[in-house]
Amino acid sequence: MRSKYDVIVIGGGHAGIEAALAAARIGCRTLMLTQNLDTIGQMSCNPAIGGSGKGQLVREIDALGGAMGLNADATGIQFRMLNRRRGASARATRVQCDKKAYQLRLKALLEGTPSLFLEQAAVGEVLVKDRRVTGVKTELDRIIPADAVIVTGGTFLGGMLHIGRTSKIGGRMADSSSNLSESLGRLGFRIKRFKTGTPCRISRRSIEFSACEVQSGDFPIPRLSFENTKRGKDDLYTLNFDQAGQFHVEQIPCWLTRTTTETHKIIRGNLHTSPLYAGRVAGAGPRYCPSIEDKVVKFSEKTSHPIFLEPEGRHTLEFYVNGVSTSLPPEIQREFIRSIPGLHKAEILRPGYAVEYDYFPPTQLLKTLETKSISRLYFAGQINGTSGYEEAAAQGLMAGANAALKLKTGRELCLSRNESFIGILLDDLVEKGIEEPYRMFTSRADDRIKLRQDNAEERLSELAFKAGLITHARRAVVHKNQEFVERLKCVAVDTKIGGIPLAHLLKRPDFNSSDIPTEIKALAPVQTWDILKDEFKYAGYSHRQDLQNINWAQRGQERIPFGFDFTSIASLRSETQERLAAARPTSLGEASRISGVTAADISILHIVLKS
């Protein structure tokens, strides 16, 4: 057997999985090396995929042939469409998954993928000669040669776990850490530290559900993947459709409760035992996923915070307590959890904790995620300073595809900001850099009306096909669907109801798909009519946005007066005010390149400057 691989992927997390699958799909002999085969695809924190900004990323991953969306659909236990009442650009699917099933199905998918090999091994060193990667050396001193290497080590590099007054080495509770960053540091890469945390898990049998509010899944069930077929006859957890072609899953409810003033009092009284507040954790944490300690201190005027109780699977009693990420000592966690309605008798199965880890500032990368200084070495996922499974998976897919394309064709796969959220993610990371864990928001898009989750396939399938990421058959299905929607548009223009063309009626907010005459409605499923409604509704906005984009270059030149007080713009988020005030940009172009400043922020600034 040949011992050399085209591509080696280090890590079996969300980035590593998509990287390995993409490289193998493009035809590279690919090896995934990961510390533990049993933790492939493990969700270190909450067992859910998608959500605002992230659902859009998953749809794009799916359109590029990735596994995340279909895997979440196949193992989902609750499906919701978030922001249903807001515009189509904000709508996002979130799927609560059976945590173990999610992992098992991914492992089986990797195992069954041709040209993809799996091995349990911890990599200690990336081998380089003349600034080009030559392979890796495992911690057991085994050398494995490869033409390209993708590092996706997640929270494991230099990982340090904190809980109460105790700190120990680890990448995740019960998993070891990795010293790979020492080898990467010797190669000249800059390394910084970030932190994140997770809440406790409690037993279902100890929850008083009568004191909580039920949160049911949506029906019809929204999905993350565009694909309707199972992958093969041996597919685990395959998708179920009823006779009417409707996706069907038995959904499990989540529950809502709230912290109390007593909870906050306990937390406040024990802040000195929190590693975050005792000054033992230096790295910046995720602003949008604050710990309960942070919430109580920073939003001291609030007397209560919502807590979602989310089941971790169909065959376990474990519940994830969403909203109380903490690193307080276990006994304090028990005390404050028991002050929450419905949780007075809570049995904690796993305490919450914080993890601090190394990341590599992503300005050291090209847009293909290849490092600028070492040829054919790629970084993807949490190690680039992002936070979240979806952000990691998107990078993994792009790194895997680019490593394989470089070896096989010499070409690259680069997505622009205007065509995808993945393009925005990569652009922000490598161009703007980051100062805190990066997560995706729809507001980061210059043109979010165009970047809807429902049209991701339309936007990206041609590129995916050309890169070898999707099959001819899948592209044919996309074309067929597009033709069908175009035909339906003609029907909507030609059909009149009460003398008004259906195309006009569909634009009205009070007109629903259910108001369409039965014989016309029967031409397409409800979801397709909904897409059409959005297409008609946003056609005008889209056109205006195109014109705005043309003006963008001019707008970038617009000067900001010396000494301008950014904190006086009430409509800007306070974090944006802080960033602008610190950086003091002199033009809108400069302001737009500041990390964390979004397209929406620039529009606000533009309006204020004009007035």
**Could you say whether residue 381 binds ligand FAD (CB under 6 A)?**
yes
Where does this chain touch ligand FAD (CB under 6 A) — which range of 343-351, 383-391, 519-527, 596-604? 383-391
Where does this chain touch ligand FAD (CB under 6 A) — which range of 215-223, 382-390, 422-430, 573-581? 382-390
Q: How far is the CB of 44 from ligand FAD (least distance, A)?
A: 3
For the chain, the straight-line distance linking the first and the last C-alpha, in angstroms and rounded, comes to: 70
Which residue in 44, 225, 263, 576 binds ligand FAD (CB under 6 A)? 44
Cα 286 to Cα 609: distance, rounded to the nearest angstrom: 31
Where does this chain touch ligand FAD (CB under 6 A) — which range of 27-35, 102-110, 423-431, 524-532? 27-35
Of 125 and 534, the one with the shorter C-beta distance to ligand FAD is 125
**Could you say whether residue 152 binds ligand FAD (CB under 6 A)?**
yes
Of 320 and 529, the one with the shorter C-beta distance to ligand FAD is 320
Q: How far is the CB of 13 from ligand FAD (least distance, A)?
A: 2
Q: How far is the CB of 389 from ligand FAD (least distance, A)?
A: 5
Which residue in 206, 326, 333, 387 binds ligand FAD (CB under 6 A)? 387
Cα dist from 245 to 74, 230, 335, 480, 589, whole Å: 16, 14, 49, 18, 49
Cα 110 to Cα 435: distance, rounded to the nearest angstrom: 34
Residues 270-289 that bind ligand FAD (CB under 6 A): 286, 289
Cα dist from 92 to 81, 86, 513, whole Å: 6, 10, 19
Contacting residues for 174 by C-beta, under 8 A, at least 6 apart? none
Question: Amino acid identity, residue 399?
Answer: A
Cα 305 to Cα 267: distance, rounded to the nearest angstrom: 13
Burial group, residue 475, by CB count within 10 angstroms (0-12, 13-18, 19+): middle
Q: How far is the CB of 94 from ligand FAD (least distance, A)?
A: 13
Q: How far is the CB of 446 from ligand FAD (least distance, A)?
A: 24
Of 122 and 249, the one with the shorter C-beta distance to ligand FAD is 122
Strand (E) positions, 326-479?
Answer: 348-350, 353-359, 377-379
**Could you say whether residue 11 binds ligand FAD (CB under 6 A)?**
yes
Where does this chain touch ligand FAD (CB under 6 A) — which range of 193-201, 225-233, 358-366, 401-409? 193-201
Which residue in 7, 9, 10, 23 binds ligand FAD (CB under 6 A)? 10
| Token duo for residue 594 | 């500041």
What is the DSSP secondary-structure string of 365-392? B-TTSBBSSSBTEEE-GGGGTB-SHHHH
Which residue in 178, 257, 326, 333 binds ligand FAD (CB under 6 A)? 178
Cα 53 to Cα 247: distance, rounded to the nearest angstrom: 23
Phi, psi of 287, deg, nearest 5? -60, -35
Where does this chain touch ligand FAD (CB under 6 A) — which range of 147-155, 422-430, 541-549, 560-568? 147-155
Of 41 and 222, the one with the shorter C-beta distance to ligand FAD is 41
* Per-residue contact flags (x/-) with ligand FAD for residues 322 to 361, judged by CB under 6 A: ---x-----------------------------x------
Strands 48-50 and 92-97: antiparallel
* HEC-encoded secondary structure of 263-323: HHHHHHHCHHHCCCCCCCCCCECCCCCCCHHHHHHHCCCCCCCEEEEEECCCCCCEEEEEC
**Could you say whether residue 404 binds ligand FAD (CB under 6 A)?**
no
Provide the 3-class DSSP secondary structure of residue 481. Answer: helix
Give the interface with ligand FAD as residue ranges (CB under 6 A).
10-16, 33-36, 39, 44-45, 122-123, 152-156, 172, 178, 180, 196-198, 286, 289, 325, 355, 381-382, 387-389, 392
